[in-house]
Amino acid sequence: MSYKSLFLIALAALGIQGLSAQQTTYAELSKKTNGYWEDTVFKGDGFKNITSFKAPKQLTDHSYYLRYEGPGWENQQVAYRIYLDWRNAIDIFGKKVSDMVLKEVGTDNYDSYHEDAPWGQDILKVGNALGIGSYGRYNNGITHHFKNVKTTKAKIINKESYSSVIIDYKGWETDGFKTNLKSTISIDNEDVTFKVQLKSSNPIDGLSTGIKVFKQAPIFSKEGTKWAYIATYGPQTLVNDTQQLGMVIFYRLDQLKELKKTEDDHLIIFKDGSNEVEYYAGAAWDQQLNGIQTKAEFESFVNRKLNQLDNPDYSKWSVRFMEDEIQRFPDPTLLDFVKKPKWNYTNGLVCKAALEVYEKTKDERFFNYAYRYADHMIEADGTIKTYKIENYNIDMLNAGKILFKLYEKTKEDRFLIAMQTLRSQLENHPRTSDGGFWHKKRYTSQMWLDGLYMGHPFYAQYAKTFEKGAAQAESYKDIIHQFDLVNEHHLDASTGLLFHGWDESKQQQWADKQTGTSPEFWSRAMGWYAMAIVDVLDFIPEGVEGRGRLISYLDALSNSLKKYQDSTGLWYQVVDKAAVKGNYLEASGTAMFAYAIAKGVNKGYLSASHMKTAELAYDGLINELVRKGEGGLYDLTQVCAVAGLGGNPYRDGTYEYYINETIRSNDPKGTGPFILLSLELNR
């Protein structure tokens, strides 16, 4: 039985209900239900969760009245609590599981959370400090907590995507100054941070937040354009000296008065006369499930978060996932899990996505990522490492698409020479008798849907950029002809779907002896084809004969795909066999279909009604297949690693073949289209 099942059974036995197994955030406040006060200690047993609370006058530290001494809040990564007494510090519950655990904490024994448990434990010794991200008032060299407050009230809010703790302090007095302070603490499931918003009824000097000082964890900091952070990392848990903990607070530069270190806290002191301030605080424990394990990973996380706060675009999935890809594969030549650099279509796919993110953000890091790939793979004389023109492999043209932007920006002649070399491949590339490019020289007489994406957006952009007159017109005609051939040979009229491959000779084992087509409708093959149409249309001007046919092919496929879209928004690996055993909802084909449809709507090729299909697919990817993985990076799961036809060992193109190919996370054939789709949807 899983830990989650045992946990929910235990809660039910304790009479604690209402926690959904699907929740990703949770907040609570729990008080004892039976008993009496004896001075400042409550004598009694049994806890009851409440959504609103007014602190009794007797309440102080170690009153044994509130379970774990105050409200708590959590997401799937970490949990926190705030002492609802004079200390008012924020503490950390480190989590080893992704379940919501707070309802269990302290129910078996009042302070058992100080001991290691399957869910985790209390990991911060707060002492006299603010802990992580709590608040006070710094005045006359002292950080004042909440010893003098007329009334303290708390409220708990749990919504679908976030949870909040709201605390109202009436008549908070420090050094003769009195005000009412409202604190709103909110957490979502994006990362380990929570947001704090403070509102004072009177302008206040010295309003502060901070991080507890540990000598063994020195502070580091960074300023962005609008936001900044202070952070610590090291052996600063109360567990032992080997476990690592990172703590960080992000604050607005326009609200800062000064930073100050005291005996207990690294303080952020807000401007005198403040009425409202906001900041984010959080902690990353190296024992967290799939959590941040090193200082380098922690620094990467806080810098990424700083970028997101400075620029709203950085909070979007397009930028976030591209940043995660760069961290996952810092060397772009080793994308696709390879051990040696190679000129390949997958590198070109992700680097093209990086360039599109660069166009959106103007952040040079994304341009430089694509540049590093080309810089390594293309010699000074324009020679492309590992590329062999005599193989006549149409896959090799795809990476050439990144060279247009690189050449435009850098004016390095080697990039132009490399593009010319790739274009020259098409002059002698083997063709079928009716003019279709073979997928590869060794795949005799075969056209694959994949090839239209691999070769023709490059072909079209080259024609528009460098060719003129009759030569350009002939290139456009040739490109459109490839799509006409696919619709002649690959299209199944009854479903509106297209078969992966076509063998003109009908000699391949996978080829139907009457039609020459392969037997199944593989999602990614059709995804390549759909993306090829919308990307080729970027470079074929209106008025070119046949351009309208390309749009009609896109519209027809989009209409057909709607019939096979799952209720989750996703499409199956073998598109038309949803109910057949072994089939699964696959990420790359889904992302490709949605990208082509969304771009088709944005460009005016498709009616606006089609956008619902793309948005449903995108929501399905986010809800079903995007997961938080190791080091806090996001993973795109359930991507078919590779599939093809023929070869050695032989791939027969049957249903059993497609569903049994390797499935992995973060395959570039999934992540690249997902990033491009995110850009099209501005998400």
**Angle, CA of 64, 70 and 74, to the nearest 5°:** 135
If DSSP codes are grouped into helix, strand and coil, which group holds residue 521?
A: coil
3-state helix, strand, coil in the chain (%, to 5): 35, 25, 35
- Given 363, 450, 576, 667, the catalytic residue: 450
**Angle, CA of 491, 602 and 500, to the nearest 5°:** 20
How long, in residues, is the chain?
683
DSSP codes, 314-362 = GGSHHHHHHHHHHHH-SSGGGGGG-SS----HHHHHHHHHHHHHHHHH-
Integer angstrom CA distances of residue 39 from 72, 250, 299, 361: 25, 40, 47, 60
What single-letter amino acid sits at 584? Y
- Active site includes 241? no
Residues 556, 605 contacting (CB under 8 angstroms) = no
Give all strands of the β-sheet with 151-158 in edge-to-edge order. 52-54, 151-158, 163-174, 177-187, 193-204, 274-285, 245-252, 227-234, 219-223
Q: How many C-beta atoms surround the C-beta of residue 349 within 10 A?
A: 27
How far apart CA 325 and CA 346 sit, in angstroms, is 13
DSSP codes, 462-486 = HHHHH--HHHHHHHHHHHHHHHHHH
Residues 273, 179 contacting (CB under 8 angstroms) = no
Nearest of 272, 269, 264 to residue 177 by alpha carbon: 272
How far apart CA 460 and CA 536 sit, in angstroms, is 6
Give bridge partners of residue 491 from the DSSP assignment: 498
Buried residues in 204-242 as b, exposed as e (16+ CB within 10 A): bbbbbbbbbbbeebeeeeeebeebbbbbbbbebbebeee
Residues 23, 152 contacting (CB under 8 angstroms) = no
Terminal-residue alpha carbon distance, the chain: 38
How far apart CA 576 and CA 564 sit, in angstroms, is 6
How far apart CA 492 and CA 644 sit, in angstroms, is 19
How far apart CA 267 and CA 135 sit, in angstroms, is 10
Q: Where are the beta strands (DSSP E) in 397-512?
A: 446-448, 501-503
Give all strands of the β-sheet with 132-139 in edge-to-edge order. 142-144, 132-139, 207-212, 265-270, 256-261
Residues 302, 223 contacting (CB under 8 angstroms) = no
Please compute, for residue 344, the number of CA atoms within 13 A of its CA located in the half-sphere on the CB side. Answer: 15
Give bridge partners of residue 199 from the DSSP assignment: 182, 276
**Angle, CA of 639, 645 and 649, to the nearest 5°:** 95
Integer angstrom CA distances of residue 439 from 422, 445, 501: 15, 8, 9
Return the active site residues.
Answer: 450
